[in-house]
């Protein structure tokens, strides 16, 4: 292992025994594990972890056992459409996806890849979420590498360059696939847009033109679609708090609440869909005459198109769109029962928001936007005419 990456990389397998013992001894981890997995005695969990010799075993024998219980209790099933990569035999990919859940997006992807006989992914995770020592240890056991954010401008540039080198090293030398979100943090309103800064970071390492450097990473847009977002009411609450107080900042307790709510909350159907690898697009647009800023913007739009065109749309998306528009443009895509069920769900989530000066109309509008925006983006990516047939659940 290249020592340059020691500060950000996942644990090496030789480091697992010591890391596992430190994690098991942490009382905060014991408390959270007992709440997240009440039917598994902590001593049994500790025994399972100590028996693992590799990070992949930690994932498949321990972490995914927990995720399987989440799937059984909090979803109507998860699925992956991998057909866009059938016959594309690259040894590793960089999956660039929209971001719905702090923990589960990458976990669902890895589980579904394993079910296809493929390896799990390494996961890019921001250090702002590593609010306790046990979280940092756990994610490094789970093949995560760390995106450093609370840095000065100069430090951030150096850190970005190092992370880019690590990603290229991981894809090219380790032949290990990567998952990274298309932007810093989740899109609170589900209007998923790729940050050009993410692409620029990826292109800092490698050889040749920016297009050739990105092509070394075998970038694949990935669309993740949850029927229901268990954190939607927390996101709506945050919108009002920021509206009423522009200086509002989430606390560490808020981040932990989002993580736990996302883990145990009801999600309905969950679907992941890969788009074709971007290498052909990158080669076709590798024009030295095109200003670099404009070129990166084109690549970002192409990632967005790959994500937006591959959303799985559910009845609630169509209902939310019609409610926002006060119309019935998509009434053929849902039944009266679907509409009543979604409206009842909306009221239940609104009732969970505890705020002084609670602005119910504003909060309802924000919740509706979260479910309507994927449909809006899908229509734009696919074209509205005749577009109702694709992407639907």
CATH number, domain of 140, equals: 3.40.1130.10
In a domain, 40, yes or no: no
Predicted TM-score (pTM) above 0.85: yes
Asked if pLDDT for residue 363 goes beyond 80, the answer is: yes
Own/partner long-range contacts of 56-61 (Cβ < 8 Å, ≥24 apart): 56/119, 56/120, 56/143, 58/16, 58/20, 58/141, 58/142, 59/110, 59/120, 59/142, 59/143, 60/114, 60/120
Q: How many domains does the chain have?
A: 2
Asked if pLDDT for residue 385 goes beyond 60, the answer is: no
* 172 and 197 part of one domain: yes
Give 392's pLDDT tier (boundaries 50, 70, 90): low
Average pLDDT of the segment spanning 308-328: 97
* 225 and 300 part of one domain: yes
In a domain, 318, yes or no: yes
* 302 and 188 part of one domain: yes
* 337 and 222 part of one domain: no
* 271 and 325 part of one domain: no
* 202 and 108 part of one domain: yes
Share of the chain above pLDDT 70, in %: 97
Query: What tokens does 307 get?
Result: 């994500």
| Residue 95: exposure state from Cβ atoms within 10 A (0-12, 13-18, ≥19) | buried
Average pLDDT of the segment spanning 332-351: 98
In a domain, 170, yes or no: yes
Q: In 3D, which of 279, 278, 274 has the Cα closest to residue 109? A: 274
Share of the chain above pLDDT 90, in %: 80
* 328 and 306 part of one domain: no
Name the residue range of residue 166's domain. 3-15+75-229+266-312
* 337 and 356 part of one domain: yes
Give 255's pLDDT tier (boundaries 50, 70, 90): confident
Greater confidence (89 vs 161) lies with 161
Query: What tokens does 235 get?
Result: 């996101």
In a domain, 130, yes or no: yes
Asked if pLDDT for residue 123 goes beyond 60, the answer is: yes
* 302 and 324 part of one domain: no
Average pLDDT of the segment spanning 318-347: 97
Could you give the CA distance from residue 209 to residue 47 in angstroms, rounded to a whole number?
A: 50
Could you give the CA distance from residue 242 to residue 232 in angstroms, rounded to a whole number?
A: 15
Asked if pLDDT for residue 132 goes beyond 90, the answer is: no
* 301 and 336 part of one domain: no
Residue 151: its pLDDT value, please?
79
* 303 and 353 part of one domain: no
CA 7 to chain centre: 23
**pLDDT tens-place string over residues 260-306:** 899 889 999 999 999 999 999 999 999 989 999 999 999 999 999 99
Could you give the CA distance from residue 171 to residue 253 in angstroms, rounded to a whole number?
A: 35
Asked if pLDDT for residue 1 goes beyond 70, the answer is: no
In a domain, 142, yes or no: yes
In a domain, 251, yes or no: no
Select from 312, 330, 345 the last residue of a domain: 312
Residue 71 CB: number of other CB atoms within 10 A?
19
Runs of H (alpha helix) within the chain? 16-24, 27-36, 42-50, 55-57, 64-74, 104-115, 133-141, 153-172, 196-202, 210-215, 232-244, 252-264, 279-284, 292-308, 315-325, 336-351, 360-382
* 305 and 362 part of one domain: no
DSSP 165: H
Q: In 3D, which of 10, 111, 126 has the Cα closest to residue 61? A: 111
Own/partner long-range contacts of 235-238 (Cβ < 8 Å, ≥24 apart): 235/186, 235/188, 235/189, 235/366, 235/370, 236/349, 236/350, 236/353, 236/363, 236/366, 236/367, 236/370, 237/353, 237/354, 237/355, 237/363, 238/188
In a domain, 36, yes or no: no
**pLDDT tens-place string over residues 205-223:** 999 999 999 999 999 999 9
In a domain, 98, yes or no: yes
């Amino acid at each position: 292992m290249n020592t340059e990456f020691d500060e950000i990389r996942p644990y090496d397998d030789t480091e697992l025994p010591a890391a596992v013992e430190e994690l098991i001894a942490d009382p905060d981890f014991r408390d959270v594990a007992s709440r997240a997995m009440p039917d598994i005695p902590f001593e049994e969990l500790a025994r399972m972890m100590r028996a693992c010799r590799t990070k992949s075993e930690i994932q498949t024998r321990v972490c995914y056992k927990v995720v399987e219980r989440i799937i059984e209790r909090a979803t109507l099933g998860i699925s992956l459409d991998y057909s866009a990569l059938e016959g594309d035999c690259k040894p590793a990919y960089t999956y660039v996806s929209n971001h719905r859940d702090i923990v589960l997006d990458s976990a669902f992807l890895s589980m579904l890849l394993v079910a296809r006989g493929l390896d799990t992914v390494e996961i890019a995770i921001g250090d702002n979420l590593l609010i306790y020592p046990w979280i940092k240890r756990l994610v490094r056991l789970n093949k995560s590498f760390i995106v450093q954010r609370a840095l000065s401008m100069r430090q951030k540039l150096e850190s970005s360059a190092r992370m880019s080198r690590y990603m290229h090293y991981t894809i090219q030398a380790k032949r290990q696939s990567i998952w990274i979100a298309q932007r810093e943090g989740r899109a609170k309103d589900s209007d998923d847009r790729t940050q050009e800064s993410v692409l620029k970071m990826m292109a800092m390492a490698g050889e040749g033109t920016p297009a050739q450097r990105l092509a070394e990473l075998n970038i694949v847009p990935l669309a993740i679609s949850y029927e229901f977002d268990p954190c939607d009411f927390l996101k709506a609450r945050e919108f009002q708090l920021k509206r009423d107080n522009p200086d509002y900042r989430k606390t560490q307790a808020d981040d932990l609440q989002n993580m736990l709510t996302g883990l145990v909350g009801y999600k309905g159907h969950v679907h992941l869909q890969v788009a074709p690898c971007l290498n052909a697009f990158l080669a076709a647009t590798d024009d030295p005459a095109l200003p670099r800023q404009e070129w990166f913007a084109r690549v970002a739009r192409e990632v967005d198109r790959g994500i937006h065109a591959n959303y799985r749309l559910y009845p609630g998306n169509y209902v939310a769109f019609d409610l926002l528009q006060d119309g019935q443009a998509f009434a053929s895509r849902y039944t009266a029962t679907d509409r009543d069920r979604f409206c009842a769900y909306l009221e239940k989530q609104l009732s969970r928001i505890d705020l002084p000066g609670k602005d119910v109309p504003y909060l309802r509008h924000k919740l509706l936007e979260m479910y309507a925006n994927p449909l809006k983006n899908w229509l734009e990516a696919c074209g509205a005419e005749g577009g109702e047939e694709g992407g639907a659940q």
